[in-house]
Chains A and B, each alone.
Chain A
Amino acid sequence: AQTVTQSQPEMSVQEAETVTLSCTYDTSESDYYLFWYKQPPSRQMILVIRQEAYKQQNATENRFSVNFQKAAKSFSLKISDSQLGDAAMYFCAYRGVSGATNKLIFGTGTLLAVQP
């Protein structure tokens, strides 16, 4: 079964600095999709960035970028120029492509605090 592991329960960053959140996953599939979701105190789940496993180029969305290492099964999120509004819980998620794995599996989350 596929699993997603986030080993950092909490992280802290100074405003305007850069922070990296870690995520590893386990799968026997060669094709799959990875996501980072943000959950602010409002509980709303917001998609931050996504990556297709068959694409070698790392995805970027403005201040958010990923470091996707397929062989190492690692998918870290880098937040540059951190802002107070980035404070939230961040979840890494995996979705396979076959019928049995085509469901979204989440890690345990990393709570990010942004210090002014």
Chain B
Amino acid sequence: NAGVTQTPKFHILKIGQSMTLQCTQDMNHNYMYWYRQDPGMGLKLIYYSVGAGITDKGEVPNGYNVSRSTTEDFPLRLELAAPSQTSVYFCASTPIGFGNTEAFFGQGTRLTVV
């Protein structure tokens, strides 16, 4: 059981370039999330999805886009990368309807924009 898998683990991106961070889970979870973690700032929610075809903005959505065509996959797209998007990105998932259920996290993607 792989859980939540993120790729890549590390990446260096040039200013103005675009890229997609991949996230897939094999637990049939309906809820999926993207967070960014900056030093001293904790985890900020970028986007989340409550099921295939449904996405919504979190606290810091600007500069990002997401899609959810399947239950398993929730890619995060960075368009026109900026240095402010240098961060560690985490994908997470939870089952539907159980608020106290543990969230499962991927190992994170460390992204540097130069």
Contact = CB atoms under 8 A, between A and B. Distances in A.
Contacts of B90: 45
B94 interface: yes
A105 interface: yes
A45 B92 contact: yes
B99 A44 contact: no
A9 B39 CA distance: 11
Contact of A45 (B44, B45, B50, B105): B105
Given A44-B105, A45-B103, 10 more contacts: A33-B99, A91-B42, A91-B43, A99-B50, A103-B48, A104-B45, A104-B94, A106-B42, A106-B44, A108-B42
Nearest to A44: B107
B112 to A, nearest CB: 15
B84 interface: no
Interface of B: 31, 33, 35, 40-45, 48, 50, 58-59, 88, 90, 92, 94, 99-100, 102-103, 105, 107-108
B92 A104 contact: yes
Candidate in B43, B94, B102 with the most chain A CB atoms within 10 angstroms: B43
A102 B88 CA distance: 23
Interface in A97-111: 97, 99, 102-109
Nearest to B99: A33
Interface of A: 6, 9, 32-33, 35, 43-45, 47, 50, 52, 91, 95-97, 99, 102-109
A108 B92 contact: no
Candidate in A43, A105, A107, A109 with the most chain B CB atoms within 10 angstroms: A43
Contacts of B88: 43
Contacts of A91: 42-43
Given A44-B107, A45-B105, A102 B42 contact: no
Nearest to A106: B43
